[in-house]
Structure 1
Amino acid sequence: MILVFGKTGQVATELQTHAPKARFLSRTEADLSDPAACAAAIEALKPTAVINAAAYTAVDAAETEERLAQVINGNAPGAMAQACADLGIPLVHLSTDYVFDGSGQTSWKPGDPTGPLGVYGRTKLAGEEAIRATGCRHVILRTSWVFSAHGSNFVKTMLRLSESRNALSIVDDQIGGPTPAAAIAQSCLRLVEALQDGQRGGTYHYAGSPAVSWKGFARETFAAAQRDVVVRGIPTSEYPTAARRPLNSRLDCTSLQADFGIGMPEWKPALTEVVKKLIA
């Protein structure tokens, strides 16, 4: 039995479709603000593998809630990993492009130096380091710009705004790879299977192709929805937020393809399907 931390998030929701026999723990069943309870859940249920699809993801709010973000994103994954190490079972953990500083224009490789710009990235990096320190069999899967028909995400925000506005100003100097939550869920399950078969893990990247700006992603969203919205590009400096965002979120996913045969998903077909669901 696979144990999944998370139940209502984008990836956790997709995992329920692709792995209906897995056990999913909601916040009331395993609160990540209590790392010991997370470890206890693993020890009590004795699963064959664990997927951590839960996190503190409110990037701007994290700037004023660093202690809570650290416990959820840093301490809890470490506690899960230690429990997995003790039971000899693998862990697949989702991380983020925000562990990098977003400089340059080259796609980030898993081994590149990290340099998070804000609390969210720092606490997610702390979680990665805590997992590695336990020595448990694991894959840390860094992903970016997750979207689906569930939860909160950029696509849903754009569609909501387009219901009352026919022109929007969207950041065009942040570049990344939109990633379908369904594809992440399927990849997590393939990684669990590979780890259970004895394959070595490590840190990997998984993001959609091709790279695009938020402006470009917005335009594709409106095209899929057949909505006539004028999208004007603006620099990040014209859209101030509490937390700094990386400008370059391109992720090099070649090692995931080489080691596990998992290629980068094309996000445009997935976007079309997601928009159809949301409009319906």
Structure 2
Amino acid sequence: MNILITGSKGQLGKSIQKFSPDFGQYKFTYTDVEELDITNYEQLKEFISANKFNVIINCAGYTAVDKAEDEPEKAMLLNATVPGYLTELSNKFGFLLIHISTDYIFDGYSNRPYIEYDMPGPLSYYAKSKTDGEAEILSKANKAVIFRTSWLYSEFGHNFVKTIIRLANERDVLNIVDDQVGTPTYAGDLAQVILKLLPKLIKTLGIQIYHYSNEGKASWYDFAKEIIRISELKCKVNPIETKDYPLHARRPKYSLMDKSKIKNTFGIQIPHWEDSLKICLLNI
């Protein structure tokens, strides 16, 4: 099986590279903006045509949630236009498109974990761009898989875990938001699930959406407290409300996702976020 990974220098792309030696039956091609400008339709088409991929895992995306408020066109290009390009090329060349989306497409007003077919209600330009990217796939694709995930972190790149460790080493006290609830997700777990499920995913008929995060729930305050506890840092953590820490972009107050579909369809076990955090911290 010939597989293209776009956005290979991001957290998920690097995590897939980390675990790819365990999947020697596949041929992987890794690209980032230096090797392939996926926003250039003709270049993308030519590259795909020349390489005859069976699967493209689109890990590329604009992920700066607050910055997207000031440059929505950049977020839309990567998060909405590019999935449209890949969908069109998937229909033309017959490869399976696996696309990564986010819990932030939801508005956070639910009183239960979101299922795959709950209506989106994006609160920010970032969330709208991801929602529009899904819409491109859902309205046009012959065959595709969308994975929605949440609060992604890893030993790679910039993320909440690394930021908390850095700040906890610099300060005595941190004030962290306690009224936004979701699930931290280790990119290594998501990468392994995608790779392990490839033989089944390739048989997908039509379009499927799966929710995947680690098990359990947490606020950003809970998450930060656990990072500091496991890392044995001395920094104190205080809980605050979202209104006391204003950011440029609005976030959902509640973005837990129901993972019954992926667990029941494929019989997978999903680690608890606290267990996966320990594994990640051993690698930082």
TM-score bracket for the superposition, by shorter chain length: over 0.9
Summarize deviations over 1:182-229 as a string: whole Å, max 9, x none: 111112223432132356641111111210111001111011101122
Aligned to 1:251: 257
The one-letter amino acid of 2:223's match is F
Q: Residue type matched to 1:2 in 2?
A: I
When residues 23 and 100 of structure 1 are mapped into structure 2, their CA distance, relative to the original with a 3 A threshold, is: same
- Structure 1 residues 41-50 or 211-220, which shifts more? 41-50
Tell whether 2:12 aligns with 1:11: yes
Counterparts of 1:255 and 1:200, CA distance in 2: 16
Cα offset for 1:91? 1.1
Q: Equivalent residue of 2:247, what SS?
A: coil
Equivalent residue for 2:119?
113
Distance 1:46 1:272 in 2: 39
Q: Is 1:66 matched with 2:67?
A: no
Q: Write the distance in 1 (CA, Å) between the matches of 2:207 and 2:199.
A: 11
Residue 91 in 1 paired to residue 97 in 2? yes
Tell me, which stretches of 5 or more residues in structure 2 are unaligned? 22-26
Conserved in 1, the CA contact under 8 Å of 2:99 and 2:146?
A: yes
Q: Is the aligned partner of 1:172 residue 2:172?
A: no
Q: Which whole-Å CA distance do the structure 1 matches of 2:245 and 2:67 have between them?
A: 16
Aligned residue runs from structure 1 range 172-191, under 5 A: 172-191=178-197
CA distance in 2, matches of 1:263, 1:122: 31
User: Is the CA contact (8 Å cut-off) linking 2:108 and 2:254 kept in structure 1?
Assistant: yes
- Please say if residues 177 and 242 of structure 2, whose CA atoms lie closer than 8 Å, have aligned partners that are also in contact: yes
Could you state the TM-score of these two structures normalised by the residue count of structure 1? 0.94
Cα displacement string for residues 48-75 of structure 1 (whole angstroms, at most 9, x for unaligned residues): 1110011000111111111111111001
Deviation at 1:264, TM superposition (A): 3.2
Counterpart for residue 79 of structure 1 = 85
Give the secondary-structure state (helix, strand or coil) at the position aligned to 2:170. coil
Q: Distance in 1 between matches of 2:105 and 2:42?
A: 25
Match in the other structure for 1:269: 275
State whether structure 2 residue 106 is matched by structure 1 residue 100: yes
* 1:32–1:71 contact (8 Å) kept in structure 2: no
Q: Is the 8 A contact 1:138 1:195 kept in 2?
A: no
> Aligned residue for 2:53?
47
Count of residue correspondences: 278
Gaps (5+ residues) in structure 1?
Answer: none
Worse-superposed segment, 190-199 or 246-255: 190-199
Paired residue secondary structure (2:238): strand
- Corresponding letter in the other structure for 2:85: A
1:142 aligned partner, one-letter code? R
CA distance in 2, matches of 1:36, 1:256: 35
Partner of 1:239: 245
Moved more, 266-275 or 236-245: 266-275
Q: Secondary structure at the match of 2:174?
A: strand
Quick check: 1:253–1:264 contact (8 Å CA) kept in 2?
A: no
Name the counterpart of 2:141: 135
Task: Give the C-alpha shift of residue 151 in structure 1.
Answer: 0.8
1:191–1:83 Cα change, 3 Å: farther
Tell me, what secondary structure is at the counterpart of 1:101? coil
Give me the whole-angstrom Cα distance separating, in 2, the residues matched to 1:74 and 1:87: 20
Q: 1:9 touches 1:150 (CA, 8 Å); kept in 2?
A: yes
Q: What letter is aligned with 2:35?
A: E
Contact map agreement 1:35 1:71 (CA 8 A) in 2: no
| Matching residue's letter, 2:208 | G
Is the contact made by 1:195 and 1:201 (CA closer than 8 Å) also made in structure 2?
no
Relative to structure 1, is the Cα distance of residues 43 and 262 closer, same or farther in structure 2, using a 3 angstrom cutoff? farther
Q: State the Cα distance separating 1:274 from its structure 2 match.
A: 1.6
